Amino acid sequence: MISRACGDSNKHNRCGKGPIFAQIRQAIPLAKSLLFCPDMCYLIIVSRPKGQDSISATKNHLEPIPLGACLDGKYHVQSLLGRGSMGLVYLATDASLQREVAIKVLLPRYAADERVAKRFRLEAVSMAAVRAENVVQIFAFGDYEGHPYFVMEYVPGYTVGNLIENANNHGEQLYLDVVIGILKQVCRGLEAVHARGIVHRDIKPANMLIGPRFRVAITDFGLVETIRSSAERDLAGTPLYLAPEIIRRQEISAELRFSSDIYALGISSYEMLTGQVPFDGESIKEILRRHLKEDPKPLSDFRSDLPPGVQDVVLHALSKEPGDRPRLGMDFIDALVAARDAASGAPYQRLGGPRVLIVDDDPETRTIFRTAIKVGFPDTSVVEATDGVQGLDLAKTTKPDLMFVDLNMPGMNGLELVASLRADESTHEMELVVVSSNLDTEACRLLGSLGVTTFLAKPVELSQLVDVVRSALKRR
C-alpha cells in the first residue's frame, strides 16, 4: 500500500530509493537512514548497521525459518502466513497443547541492528504484559539459529482493514452498528494496554484482527512506548495515522501520552465509516502537513445516514492538540454509543413471553413461519422484518429469543446482518438460525465463524422448523 501514501508505486520507491525518500529525508532532517515497509506499516528512523551499505533481499534472508522446522522442541512450523517490513509470520502447531499458534520472526538484516532488535523484544514484552480478550496474547520468546522470534495466539479470520477494503470494492459502507461493535472491542483492548502504562502507537484497521464469533483483537506492538520512557518521542508509525504531536516531536506529559492512540482511533473510526482516511496525499510530506494544518472533511460529505452526534464524536478525537481529545478509549466509545442511541430513541423494555423474529424479504416464507410458530407455540409472539436493516433494528429493540435470518436478502444480506448482530453487545449472544435456498460451503464456513450452528434449507419442512423453535425456547 505504499502507493496510497506516496502516489508512486514504482520499484525504486518500494526499495527505499527514488524521489519519495528524498522528500521524507527533507521532511525529517534528523534521520540517518529510513526504513519504510513495503506494505506501509511503518515509517521509522533507524541506524543501518556498520558495514551494511545496502539491504539484501536474498531468499535466505526472507525465509529465516524453514517450513517443517521445530522450535523449542514443540512448535512445528506449518506455513507462511504473511510478510511484513521487518519480519515474517508463520503458522505453527504447538505439539504440547495441541493448538495452532502464530510465530513472528525478525529478519536477519534487521536483527543485526541493535535498535530494531531491541524494539522487537520490547514488542514481545509489551504484549506479554497485557492479558485481555481484545489483545492478541503472546506465549513465548526464543531464538532459532540466530533468528529471534516470539510465539503468539493465532487468530484465524481477517483484519478490519480487509473489511473496509471489501466494502469499498463493492461500493458499500460499513453499517454504524458494525463499526461500533468493532470499536467497543478495540477500546476495551486499548484500555487494557493503557492500564499497563503502554502506548501502542500503531493503532489502525490493519492491526485489528477479527476472529471467530466476531472477536476483535489488537495486534502488532512493534512501535510501543511506555509512559516512563523519554518525553521526547521518535517519529515512528504509519503516516496516515500519525498524531500531530508525534509529527512535531513534541514533548508532552505522561498523562497525555495515550492521546496519540486516541487520535489514531479517531482516524480508524473515520476510515471505517467513510471508506477513506481523512488525511491522504501524493507524498509522505503532504500527508504529515495535512495532519498538522488541515481539518478533516465532515463525515456528512460521504454519507447522510449518520446521526450528527456521531460526526462530532469522531472529529473530537481528531483534535490537533492532545489535551483536546477524549482522555480514554472508553470515553470515546461511550460518547459514540450515546450519540447513536440519542438518535434512535430510548431502548425497548422487554415484557411478556417468548419472542421470535423472522427476517425475510419473501412474504410467503414469513407467512409459513409465522403460522407454524403460532400454531405450535401459542404463547409466543412473532415479529417480522422485510429486510436486514429493519431486522437489525427490531433485534435490538424487541430482544427476541430466536431469530430466523434469510441469507439472500437485497441490501443488507443475511451474512452482513449476522455480523452486525455479533458485533453489538446487546445482540451478541442472540440465537440465530440462517435460512436459504442456496447454502454453499463458503457461506456456512463464514457463518459458522460467527457462531451460527443451525441452518434450514428452503423449502423448510414444518416439522424441522417446529423442532428448532422448541429446542430454542427450552434454552430460554
Q: SS in 3 state form for 393-439? A: HHHHHHCCCEEEEECCCCCCCHHHHHHHHHHCCCCCCCCEEEEECCC
In angstroms, the CA 330 to CA 475 distance is: 33
Whether 337 and 386 map to the same domain: the answer is no
DSSP letters for 17-28 = -SHHHHHHHHH-
Contact 237, 225 (CB under 8 A): no
Does the structure show a pLDDT above 80 at 4? no
| 96 in any annotated domain | yes
Average pLDDT, the chain: 81
Give domain status of residue 16, yes or no.
Answer: no
For strand 75-83 and strand 402-406, is the pairing parallel, antiparallel, or unpaired?
A: unpaired
Helix (H, G, I), strand (E, B) or coil at 459: coil
**In a domain? residue 11:** no
User: Does 422 share its domain with 435?
Assistant: yes
Answer whether 473's CB lies under 8 Å from 401's CB: yes
pLDDT for the residue numbered 47: 31
The CA-based diameter of the chain, rounded to the nearest angstrom, is 83
Domain co-membership, 243 together with 283: yes
Q: Residue range 406-427: average pLDDT?
A: 90
Rounded Cα distance between 403 and 319, Å, is 42
pLDDT in tens, 11-65: 333 333 344 434 433 443 333 223 333 233 333 333 333 333 322 333 444 578 8
pLDDT for res 461? 85
Other beta carbons less than 10 A from residue 39's beta carbon:
13
Residue 278: predicted pLDDT: 97
Write down the pLDDT at residue 57: 33
- The 10s digit of each residue's pLDDT in 309-337 is 999 999 999 999 999 999 999 999 999 99
Helix axes 259-274, 308-317, angle to 10 degrees: 140
DSSP assignment letter at 48:
P
Strands 402-406 and 355-359: parallel
Asked if the structure places residue 9 within a domain, the reply is no
Helix 414-423 with 176-195: angle, nearest 10 deg: 30
- State mean pLDDT over 292-321: 95
High-pLDDT (> 70) share of the chain, %: 82
Name the pTM for this structure: 0.67
167 shares a domain with 149: no
User: Of 130, 153, 176, at which residue does a domain stop?
Assistant: 153
In terms of residue numbers, what domain contains 102?
Answer: 57-153
Q: Is the pLDDT of residue 290 over 80?
A: yes
pLDDT at 226: 66
Domain of residue 77, CATH code: 3.30.200.20
Which positions are catalytic? Answer: 202
- Does residue 387 lie within any of the structural domains? yes
CB contact set of 11 (below 8 Å; sequence gap of 6+): none
Last residue of one domain, picked from the residues 112, 133, 153:
153
pLDDT tens digits for 341-368?
A: 888 664 444 445 789 999 999 988 998 8
Angstrom distance (rounded) from CA 37 to CA 34: 10
Name, of 169-178, 242-251, 290-299, the range with top average pLDDT. 290-299
Alpha carbons 144 and 106: distance in angstroms, whole number:
10
Quick one: 177 and 324 in the same domain?
Answer: yes
Distance separating alpha carbons of residues 458 and 435, to the nearest angstrom: 7
Query: In this structure, is residue 41 part of a structural domain?
Result: no
Tell me how far apart the alpha carbons of residues 428 and 357 are, in angstroms, rounded to a whole number.
15
- Judge if 332 and 206 occupy the same domain: yes
Query: Cell digits for 19?
Result: 524521489
Same domain, yes or no, for 410 and 340?
no
d(CA 337, CA 264): 19
pLDDT grade, residue 302 (50/70/90)?
very high
pLDDT of residue 209: 93
Give the DSSP letter of residue 237: B
Q: What is the pLDDT of residue 284?
A: 93
The CATH number covering residue 259 comes to 1.10.510.10
Q: What does each C-alpha distance from 439 to 445, 456, 469 come to in angstroms?
A: 10, 9, 20
Same domain for 262 and 179: yes
Start-to-end CA span in the chain (Å) = 48
pLDDT given at position 403: 96
Distance set, CA 112 to CA 16, 32, 147 (Å): 19, 16, 10
Asked whether residue 99 is assigned to any structural domain, the reply reads yes
Which is more confidently placed, 59 or 138? 138
Query: Quick one: pLDDT at residue 228?
Result: 59
75: pLDDT strictly greater than 50: yes
What is the per-residue pLDDT across 174-223, written as a single tens digit (0 to 9) for each? Answer: 888 889 989 999 999 999 999 888 888 899 999 999 988 888 999 887 77
| Range in 7-11, 90-94, 263-267 the model is least confident about | 7-11
CATH number at 456 reads: 3.40.50.2300
Distance CA 126, CA 124 (A): 5
Helix (H, G, I), strand (E, B) or coil at 379: coil
Going by the DSSP 8-state scheme, the letter that residue 144 receives in this structure is: E
Summarize the confidence of residues 269-287 as an average pLDDT. Answer: 96
- The answer to whether residues 338 and 359 belong to one domain is no
Specify the number of domains making up the chain. Answer: 3
**Are 145 and 165 contained in the same domain?**
no
Residues 76-116: pLDDT tens digits? Answer: 999 999 887 678 899 999 999 999 999 999 887 777 777 77
Q: Is residue 326 part of a domain?
A: yes
Cα separation, 451 vs 454, whole angstroms: 9
Question: Do 440 and 387 belong to one domain?
Answer: yes
Residue range 242-257: average pLDDT? 87
Q: Determine the pLDDT at residue 126.
A: 83
Q: Are 395 and 444 in contact (CB under 8 A)?
A: no
Do 404 and 462 lie in one domain? The reply is: yes
Looking at 297, 323, 344, the residue that finishes a domain is 344
Higher pLDDT: 282 or 346? It is: 282
